[in-house]
Amino acid sequence: MFRKAKHGVMDARRDLRRLTPAERDLALDWFEVVEFRMKTFSLPSRLSAAIEFMVLKAVLGLDLDDPRAVPASIAVNMGYASRLVIFESLDDLDPWADHELDELVIRDASGEIDFERYEQDEGQLVGLYRYVGSYGTDQEKFEAIPGCPPSVWPGLTSLAATSLHANMESQRKGSIRALPAEHIGGLMRLGYVLRCVDEALDESADSTGGRNGLLLKGS
């Protein structure tokens, strides 16, 4: 999901300059809508938030006290909101469905997601972690997700990287070199796929404004 990156804010701005005026305008319009949609929730669903924290911890080495954790989580939310916007905009787009995903989710006797088992053993999340990561690391697989807009996605991720880096510098949220633009793009792909997972499981994003309970031990 995250390549060894040397892709910084100047590279992100160059990416934007490579777009045609029409592509750039479309990316800017979409970025504005996605930013607005992000304000309606604080985290993905309880289960998806746990997968997110596992990625931040295992792949990027971040815990919740790291100043980069906030912008990293914002990048995930940006990808998550992007999928929400796409799904709400396309009348003919069905919710994500995958039998493989159904087999990975642990349920209790009533058929509900067994959050108690996930809380007792975070290793139970590994299958879902790998499932989500398989879409984040394979560009062709990610772009093949129904509704995914590959023509606009590079512009959106470059805009997000430029915005997040500017905020990190102004608020001193860690070094932007430690959260390069390519990592931000990977986090956005993660968020996009997490929303697909929540669609398939009929889970809603957390709109309480707080953390939603299922976090990794020691985070």
Give the C-alpha separation, 158 to 162, whole Å: 6
Q: What is the model's pTM?
A: 0.86
* pLDDT value for 86: 92
Average pLDDT over residues 156-163: 86
Q: How sure is the predictor about 68, in pLDDT bands with cuts at 50, 70 and 90?
A: confident
Give the C-alpha separation, 36 to 30, whole Å: 10
Q: What is the pLDDT of residues 168-177, one digit of tens each?
A: 877 776 677 7
Residue from 108, 106, 112, 104 nearest 129 by CA: 104
* pLDDT value for 76: 94
* pLDDT value for 75: 93
98 vs 177, which has greater pLDDT? 98
Average pLDDT over residues 154-182: 81
Asked if the model's pLDDT at residue 155 lies above 70, the reply is yes
Domain spans of the chain?
A: 9-201
* pLDDT value for 8: 47
